[in-house]
Amino acid sequence: MISISTSGISYRIGDREILKDITFAIEEGDRLAVVGVNGSGKSTLLNIIYGDYEASSGSVFIAKDKSVGMLHQNDAFNIIGNGDEDSPINGTVLGQMYAVFAELVEMEGRLQNIQNQLDSDGLSYETATRLSAEYSNLNSRYISEGGLYFRSRCCSILKNLGFDESFWQMQVTSLSGGQRTRLALARLLFREPDILILDEPTNHLDVETMEWLESHLAAYGKTKTVILVSHDRMFLDRVTNKTLDIEHGESKLYRCSYTQYVSEKEKYRKEYEKRYELQQREIARIEAYIEQQRRWNRERNIIAAESREKALARMVKIEKPKSAPRSIRFRLTSSGESGNDVADIRNLTMGYGDNLLFKDLSFLVKKRDRLFVSGPNGCGKSTLIKILTGSLEPLSGTVEFGYNVTVGYYDQENQNLTEENTVLDELWDSYPNLTQTEIRNTLASFMFRGDDIEKKVSVLSGGERARLTLAKLILSRMNVLILDEPTNHLDIDSREVLENALAAFEGTIIAVSHDRYFTKRLATKFLDLGNGGELFIGGWDAYQDYLQRRSLKPQPERSTAPDSRSVEYTEKKKSQAEKRKREKRKAEIAREISKLEKEIVEIEDLLFGEAATDYQRVSELTDRKIQAEDILMSLYEEEEELENADG
């Protein structure tokens, strides 16, 4: 049975046609991926289907009685409820999940109200009988509609999407943008609409959560339909069974998942080009025949020419194949050989307040390693990257780079861009020795052409900012690349170009990425921050096998009746070890406090001295002073706690 179909959908903004004649149909149970380069109109089509946008022409058909739900990119998340904190439906994370079951929550309140009346004194027999019957009927309905387990289901889905119990009573207004999007996804999945529309659902998800979402969507009701946009190729392969390709505003439906679609599309393109060329040859042959017959200019020749002209007019012409959409193109050039030991990281400890991200982290990066930092969201992956690049100071520990190491850094937040610069100025300011032609050629290779180079950085889309950051990176001479989520905001074609460039790069790579396909293509080592900084040597498949084996490894059994002398000895050893540990930590804290106090004094001297008239320098120094003071306060508190622990 057809679940949803479109007929002749077109969408225009002024003179620009985004979509034209989009026509397709999918059935109940289908999982459709909508693919295409950034700016091709994927999100626009999803919004038209959902009803947020009105098509310039064409229509959308949705089967009768089908409910539709949509997760938008960076969903703003509308809070449901009346603001009553005493109600189960309130502004907390858990309260917003309960809002999905507002009718059940209302039933609970009514059941409690009836119970209170039945427990009161002085009820007449008739009233008690009526209330008992009402309670029985309402309770039966409450149970049949899932009232006994909806709360546990809410907690379960929150945990699976990265919200442990510490989040449940947190106000939604205090969540980050990514957390709000994940909460919107959780609420939408719980509603289980018949047609589920997801625009970039894997944004802000770690690998473990993405794998849970894949399993959830794979098991999503057999009569339910899913339409989604995602640049995660492994996610598309595992979830979808059909692919709608949007190119040059037009669409073609492939009845297969992503990887097979890539092969089918290439095959179709070659066949189409061949058919076009053969037809052009046939047209040329007929036109030559017509011209020859007219040159001979006899009656029978004229008749023959006119006959062929009519045949040519009746021929259904194959439209000239359009060129593939433009994509970025570049290669990375190493600055030369580094030493064999690229980076030696020793005893790194980092955290904020009571939240310790990692402690005594040590590892060695060798030349030509492809080291990927793994672990769940919040374990400190991006923080570690910032420490390696010098953007953050650790609480303790050292980072030492080896001989002849030059570092290039890609920041996932694209913070190293000046908002008021034009695209041209942003690149030229970073490389003033290059000619304007060289700068323009570089920008063109990253799809900045014509008026694009005069755009302000502040108005660029996420994809454009990512491309500009990459353009700056490839012009730098480096032999070590440190990459923090480099595929964010890049479409699939751009991701593949980046992968090819990195695969051919002769230097060393240290990266954080949630893109499993990207990681599988490049990784040779993994640093697992979610497991205390364990280092694994091997590629993606071997690492996944190892994680699976580790999760199945039985835990050693503990004796239930230990010897009393053994317990006393163990406790004594433990106490001595903890004391030594505290003494070591106090010495580290003393060194860090001295270092930070000295740094703050130096910053204050600069603020009231040579930097006082430099607004940008003052801003940078003030930010660093605030950061140093925050760390210093946490060290003072930790030092006091350690002193109290020693009595």
Using one digit for the tens of pLDDT, what is the confidence trace for 306-322? 888 898 889 888 999 88
Q: Measure the CA dihedral 9/10/13/16, to 10°.
A: 150
- Secondary structure class of 156 (helix, strand, coil): helix
> Mean of the per-residue pLDDT values for the chain?
87
Question: What is the Cα–Cα distance from 568 to 189, expressed in whole angstroms?
Answer: 53
Res. 571: pLDDT tops 70: no
CB atoms within 10 A of CB 447: 20
Confidence class of residue 574 from pLDDT cuts 50, 70 and 90? Answer: low
Is pLDDT at 507 greater than 50 in this prediction? yes
Tell me the residue ranges of DSSP E strands in 274-424.
341-352, 355-366, 370-374, 396-401, 407-410
Return the sign of the alpha-carbon dihedral for residues 474, 475, 478, 482: negative
The pair of structure tokens assigned to 18 is 């985004």
Q: Kindly compute the dihedral angle of the four CA atoms of residues 283, 285, 290, 293, in this order, to the nearest 10 degrees.
A: -170
**Widest CA span in the chain:** 122
Which tens digit of pLDDT belongs to each residue from 406-433?
A: 999 998 776 678 999 999 999 999 999 9
- Give the model's pLDDT for residue 554: 63
- Is residue 568 over pLDDT 60? no
- What is the amino acid identity at position 361? L
In angstroms, rounded to a whole number, what is the distance separating the alpha carbons of residues 25 and 244?
Answer: 10
- For residue 10, give the H/E element and its range: strand 2-13
Query: Ramachandran region of residue 65, left (φ > 0), alpha (ψ -120 to 50) or beta?
Result: left
| The pLDDT of residue 153 is above 60 | yes
CA distance 251 to 245: 5
- pLDDT grade for 566, boundaries at 50, 70 and 90: very low
Contact 6, 66 (CB under 8 A): no
Nearest-CA neighbor of 529 among 372, 367, 392? 372
Instruction: Give CA–CA dist 328/467, Å, rounded.
Output: 8
Which secondary-structure segment (H or E) carries 329? none
Spatial distance between the Cα atoms of 21 and 35, rounded to a whole number of angstroms: 16
Q: Rounded to the nearest 5°, which phi and psi values hold at 2?
A: -65, 125
Q: Which residues on adjacent β-strands are paired with residue 555?
A: none
Please give the Cα distance from 356 to 398 (Å, whole number): 17
> Residue 328 in contact with residue 474, Cβ under 8 Å?
no
The mean-pLDDT minimum among 57-71, 391-405, 573-587 falls in 573-587
Is this prediction's pTM over 0.85? no
Tokens of 66: 């089908």
The 10s digit of each residue's pLDDT in 160-193 is: 888 888 888 888 888 877 788 888 898 888 888 9
Residues 6+ apart with CB under 8 A from 593: 632, 635, 636, 639
Question: Token pair of 243, please?
Answer: 């692919």
Per the CB < 8 A criterion, the answer to whether 238 and 217 are in contact is: no
Which percentage of the chain shows pLDDT scores above 70? 93
pLDDT given for residue 203 in this prediction: 81
**Alpha carbon distance 336, 447 (integer Å):** 28
DSSP letter (8 states) at residue 171 = B
Please, which residues bridge with residue 171 across strands?
A: 92
The torsion angles phi and psi of 500, rounded to 5 degrees, stand at -60, -40
**Which pLDDT score is estimated for 638?**
76
Confidence tier at 598 by pLDDT (50, 70, 90): confident
- Chain-centroid distance of CA 354 in Å reads 28
CA 21 to CA 56: how far, in whole Å? 10
Q: What is the pLDDT of residues 314-369, one digit of tens each?
A: 988 899 988 888 888 888 888 889 999 999 999 999 998 878 899 999 999 999 99
In this prediction, residue 616 carries a pLDDT of 67
What are residue 352's DSSP bridge partners? 355
Tell me what percent of the chain is helix, strand and coil, each rounded to the nearest 5: 50, 20, 30
Assess whether pLDDT exceeds 90 at residue 252. Answer: yes
- pLDDT score of 612: 66
Q: Of the ranges 38-42, 469-473, 524-528, 549-553, which one carries the lowest mean pLDDT score?
A: 549-553
Tell me the backbone φ, ψ of residue 152, rounded to 5 degrees: -65, -35
Cβ-Cβ contacts under 8 Å for 502 (sequence gap 6 or more): 332, 481, 509, 522
Q: Which of 246-250, 454-458, 580-584 has the lowest mean pLDDT?
A: 580-584
Signed CA dihedral, 446, 451, 456, 458: sign only: negative
pLDDT of residue 615: 61
H or E element, residue 78: none
C-alpha 342: how far from its chain's center?
A: 29
Residue 582's pLDDT band, with cuts at 50, 70 and 90, is confident
| Residue 567 in this model has a pLDDT that exceeds 80 | no
Q: How many angstroms separate the CA atoms of 604 and 608, rounded?
A: 6
| Residue type at 294 in one-letter notation | R
Q: What are the C-alpha distances in Å from 260 to residues 254, 263, 264, 303, 577? A: 9, 5, 6, 51, 58
